[in-house]
Amino acid sequence: VDGSYGPVTRRSVRDFQREMGFDQTGALTPQETVTLICHAALNARDADSQNLLGIMFATGLGVEQNIDSALEWLDTAADRGNGGANFNLALIYGTGSVQGSYRLCGLIESPERADSYLRRAADLGHERAIRLRREFAATGGDSAARWSQISQALLSEAERSGDRFYIAWQQRIDEARRENGHELNQPGCYQAAMAGGQPAAAGGSQTE
């Protein structure tokens, strides 16, 4: 793997398309990309693909959003020693977000559990986990205070970098808040779930 979409990659894509009964174009459509990731996670049991599928279920990217499925796939990858999956679980339980960009709803935060996943991610060599543990070590044993600071730092980092995925996700949350009559200045995740509603971004199947 060299990161280049060259002739070897195109041949592999055509082989996959032929096996699945798709048009053999050598270029994946969005739906074919989702299918490929699902097959890699399910059949090849590739831990990186399992981590990615967990993120997809967490955010509703290419599949219908399902937090339970997200946690199952991330747990599977984490148990297999995937540093990224441990890091994402730390963020989910510590800040209610995934990859520092996406806010989740209806998930009970557990700073102590988040600490455990972050520690394991760092032990596995995950660079961002190592950096966060180093930068926020001063809070000592106060897990809740530490994750509150980490949450704000990650959100600020996404905003400073102009993360288009974060911006698009926030816009979808804002639209859902407006539809349900909620103010946009409320902190954290969209709050419609408190009234029994669901965010507009959570429903339906997408192929982004």
Condensed to tens digits (0 to 9), the pLDDT of residues 39-85 reads: 999 999 999 999 999 988 887 788 887 888 889 999 999 999 999 99
With CA atoms as reference, report the closest residue to 183 among 168, 173, 196, 169. 173
Based on its alpha-carbon atoms, the radius of gyration of the chain, rounded to whole angstroms, reads: 18
Band (202; pLDDT cuts 50, 70, 90): very low
Residue 199: count other Cβ atoms within 10 Å of its Cβ.
Answer: 24
For 43-58, give one letter per residue: b (16+ CB within 10 A) or e: eeebbebbbbbbbbbb
Q: Tell me the C-alpha to C-alpha distance, in Å, between residue 89 and each of 16, 82, 118, 202.
A: 31, 11, 8, 19
Burial of 60 (0-12, 13-18, 19+ CB in 10 A): buried
pLDDT tens figures, 92-136:
888 776 654 555 655 667 888 999 999 999 999 999 999 999 999
Burial of 184 (0-12, 13-18, 19+ CB in 10 A): exposed
Band (193; pLDDT cuts 50, 70, 90): very low
CA distance 108 to 4: 40
CA distance 91 to 54: 13
The yes-or-no verdict on residue 149 having pLDDT over 60 is yes
The yes-or-no verdict on residue 147 having pLDDT over 60 is yes
| Its pTM surpasses 0.95 | no
Band (195; pLDDT cuts 50, 70, 90): very low
Which pLDDT score, from 0 to 100, does residue 167 have? Answer: 61
